[in-house]
Structure 1
Amino acid sequence: MSKPIVAIVGRPNVGKSTFFNKIAGKRISIVEDTPGVTRDRIYAEAEWIGNTFTLIDTGGIEPFTKDIILHQMRAQAEIAIETADVIVFMVDGREGITAADYEVANMLRKANRPTLVVVNKIEGKSLENNAFEFYNLGLGEPITISAQQALGLGDLLDEIVALFPKDKKGIEEEDKMKIAVIGKPNAGKSTLINKLLGENRVIVSNIPGTTRDAIDTPFSYNGEDYILIDTAGVRRKSKIVENVEKYSVIRSFTGIERSDVCLILIDAEEGVTEQDTKIAGYAHEEGRASIIIVNKWDIIEKDTKSMDAYRKDIRNKLSFMAYAPILFISAKTGQRVNKIMELVNYVSNQHSMRIATGMLNETIGEAVLMNQPPSNKGRRLNILYCTQASVKPPTFILFVNDPDLMHFSYERYIENQIRSAFGFEGTPIRFIVRQRNE
């Protein structure tokens, strides 16, 4: 399902990040009583009465500034506005309407997006009359809240959900396997997609950021239907200059969220970079099946040990993704590209594999016999029962005598034993540890 996007915009220090954290349910944005603290858009998945959506927190819009940082923050907010399905325009109910608020309102009118004027910092009835002056912004009836004290948030969320596009309300996407090609700009994503499709459907350029939106391309392979999602390259924040590249970051992340399998493209010349690690980490956290693809292998000077050394470096830098198979290709020449779809189908099957409860408990019982759980203050963990709760990713519930006795290292050991017995190559595994009497 394609999730609606809700952007929180407004001038600095009106309480956007505090509101964002309340809705997201955790402290994601830095909150500090200083204008301009939130410099980067931050994303979170939120839910209200069965409606899931992507929430974007933006840096404040400061229309009259010449400060470079504030100018970039304004540019980021503009991109969020362009991308959003619903805009929450936040203003300060204590300070009252300002010239900057009028400028932001003018910007939002031109954007022609559903917009809610939200008057924050209204902590009591004595301040409620402060909201009336915000009618002058010409964007409809102001809604009063206090993000700090969580007042009025339910009513506001009702209004937000009511504005979601109908095609993003409970409409499932086509039941075809979706394959997201992700990676830094210029890693060869579009070239790879063209090679897989056998035709030039995507513009290819050696300028990073050519792909400015996620492009969905349906295709067939061996009689099966698929959708390829060509995501825009994700760049290090310090190198993001063009607004269109900032816009592409949202599409990259939402592309991962919509996918079943991620092809994580690594540039063989550059090796695994910090940004590659972040991109792979996002796919891992989202529980997606993944394949690590090293592209441009044709231009690397090699000897008999090159591939093993490169593979070892990847395993070291992407240690959290040890389950993902690694494939060395050249999208340009077509080297080993023919192996990708077979591997995609393989990891997809592993991603959706179910294990019979009896076999699962037999495997865990043997694992415990081989390596007893460590004791803590005279008490030892006892794994009483295990069952598989779901797939995509495979998720297991471990019933134990005391969840606090489950050390992460022993959980990792159990995971390794399950993988050794059943495979699960290309997919993360999740564990839920519960007390037996729950």
Structure 2
Amino acid sequence: MGKPIVAVVGRPNVGKSTFFNKIAGRRIAIVEDEPGVTRDRIYTEVEWLNHKFTLIDTGGIEPESEEIIPAQMRRQAELAIETANVIVFLVDGREGLISSDREIADMLRKSKKPVLLVLNKVDTKEQSPHYFDFYELGIGDPIEISSALGLGIGDLLDEVVKNFPNEEAEDYDEDVIKVAVIGKPNVGKSSIINKVLGEDRVIVSDIAGTTRDAIDTPFTDGEDQYVFIDTAGIRRKSKIKEHVERYSVIRSLSAVERADVCLLIIDAEEGVTEQDKKIAGFSHENGKGLIIVINKWDLIEKETNTMNQFIKSVRTELAYCEYAPIVFVSALTGQRLNKILDKIKFVANQHAMRVPTGALNEVIGEAMLLNQPPSDKGKRLKIFYATQAAVKPPTFVLFINDKELMHFSYQRYIENRIRENFGFEGTPIRFINREKTGGEK
């Protein structure tokens, strides 16, 4: 499954954003003393004691308010609660227990999720005078911290990771090819899945954002097993009007983490947008296989070089994903959709491919003869030996004399030579440069 999700909830102005920023290690959320400033849930990736998880900061819950923004914030927090594995319920240790805390506690108890009650703003080693009042909430022993000073944060995170699911195993067998269908809203993700499957298993609507959650659709094609993970469209933050879509973004990112191959669906009429670049970047950074699917190609007026020009434009805009094959389709007419499954299977195999060590070193040795490694102040880069350390994505360890001499451009050259000889189409390649100890430098 994807990484565990931890939601930080509580009424406004109890210090959620300060807490979030302290754990994230950088100032992400807006921090002000005015209640309700943090209206957007923000999430970040966190690691503690070798446990990686996603931390969500929510807007404050105001249970009794029916004003539009507080009501949206409440719904946003409810959605965070629904998707979280662990909930951190932050209260104000200086102000003490108030009625809003009681109502939020009622919401949290109904969630049936692990809840940690955290008294924030306890800035001294003395226990909060309100400490025992919070037992009334029936959530367990309060944990005292000071987000501003960093007191008690480590002990709290220890408790957080103790409540993660014991098994983080995949739902599916290793030979099942997991495909995340990603892209902005309303580019035809669900329609493409339906056409490929040959039946309407996923709801399709012209209303952007219909697919709220990631929906898994397992199926077989001959002897091959697949699961399509259909994600909610990922919108640019400034365009997200509905708070429910922010929750969908988290599910979408989790879907990418679970996948072997990502299908990035791009609207042919719009071309590659800034948001498409960010979505492709997320797949690339997570080391996933990637296929770029240009949908609605039937709506484009064609001339002699229309497709070639479009490919050139995509390659320019998504330069870091040069390895990704591009497929032009129409979900409406079914044009070229029959090629998608074959392409997915091919990219999945490339993503999991391992090359023999002897052949790998032969290619790298030849590459160094054709293009001498860079040097600096009379010292030249030497690659003594290479081996493939992992797959999904293919990862190579280069044993070299000096990491400082390995320029990005030369590593890119080595990558290109590996691709020319072995393929690896559709998958990013990772390199680990390791200085060889005890030998010549």
Q: 1:354 to 1:158 in 2, by over 3 A?
A: same
Aligned to 2:281: 281
Separation of aligned partners in 2, 1:377 and 1:62: 64
Q: Deviations over 1:35-83 (max 9, x none)?
A: 5665533333444556543322223445677987666544432321222
Aligned to 1:155: 155
- Contact residue 180 and residue 228 of structure 1 kept, 8 A: yes
Separation of aligned partners in 2, 1:382 and 1:34: 57
CA RMSD of aligned residues (A): 2.7
Deviation at 1:12, TM superposition (A): 4.4
Give 2:290's aligned amino acid. S
Aligned residue for 1:327, secondary structure, equals strand
Separation of aligned partners in 2, 1:77 and 1:145: 22
TM-score by length of 1: 0.89
Superposition map of 1:41-60 within 5 A: 41-49=41-49, 51-60=51-60
Deviation at 1:410, TM superposition (A): 2.3
Separation of aligned partners in 2, 1:313 and 1:341: 25
- Contact residue 29 and residue 38 of structure 1 kept, 8 A: no
Deviation at 1:295, TM superposition (A): 0.5
Separation of aligned partners in 2, 1:6 and 1:89: 11
Superposition map of 1:332-347 within 5 A: 332-347=332-347
Separation of aligned partners in 1, 2:7 and 2:392: 29
Aligned to 2:238: 238
Aligned to 1:85: 85
Query: Which stretch has the larger CA shift, 222-231 or 128-137?
Result: 128-137
Q: 1:436 to 1:96 in 2, by over 3 A?
A: farther
- Contact residue 183 and residue 265 of structure 2 kept, 8 A: yes
Separation of aligned partners in 1, 2:327 and 2:199: 22
Aligned to 2:292: 292
Q: Mark the runs of 5 or more structure 2 residues left unpaired by the alignment.
A: none
Aligned to 1:249: 249
Deviation at 1:386, TM superposition (A): 1.7
Aligned to 2:178: 178
Superposition map of 1:356-367 within 5 A: 356-367=356-367
Superposition map of 1:179-328 within 5 A: 179-328=179-328
Query: Which stretch has the larger CA shift, 274-283 or 71-80?
Result: 71-80
Deviation at 1:13, TM superposition (A): 4.8
Aligned residue for 2:396, secondary structure, equals strand
Deviation at 1:375, TM superposition (A): 3.0
Q: Mark the runs of 5 or more structure 1 residues left unpaired by the alignment.
A: none
Query: Which stretch has the larger CA shift, 407-416 or 227-236?
Result: 407-416
Aligned to 2:28: 29
Separation of aligned partners in 2, 1:22 and 1:426: 38
Separation of aligned partners in 1, 2:320 and 2:394: 16
Q: Deviations over 1:386-408 (max 9, x none)?
A: 22111100111122222223222
Aligned to 1:350: 350
- Contact residue 351 and residue 392 of structure 2 kept, 8 A: yes
Deviation at 1:137, TM superposition (A): 4.0
Deviation at 1:212, TM superposition (A): 1.4
- Contact residue 376 and residue 405 of structure 1 kept, 8 A: yes
- Contact residue 395 and residue 430 of structure 2 kept, 8 A: yes
Deviation at 1:437, TM superposition (A): 1.8
Deviation at 1:252, TM superposition (A): 1.1
Query: Which stretch has the larger CA shift, 74-83 or 417-426?
Result: 74-83
Aligned to 1:16: 16
TM-score by length of 2: 0.89
Separation of aligned partners in 2, 1:127 and 1:50: 31
Kindly tell me the number of residue pairs found equivalent between the two proteins. 435
Q: Deviations over 1:160-215 (max 9, x none)?
A: 3343456xx24332111111111111111111111111111111111111111111
Aligned residue for 1:413, secondary structure, equals helix
- Contact residue 79 and residue 246 of structure 1 kept, 8 A: no
Q: Deviations over 1:338-370 (max 9, x none)?
A: 111111111111101112222222222222233
Superposition map of 1:69-80 within 5 A: 72-80=72-80
Aligned to 2:146: 146
Separation of aligned partners in 2, 1:69 and 1:384: 61
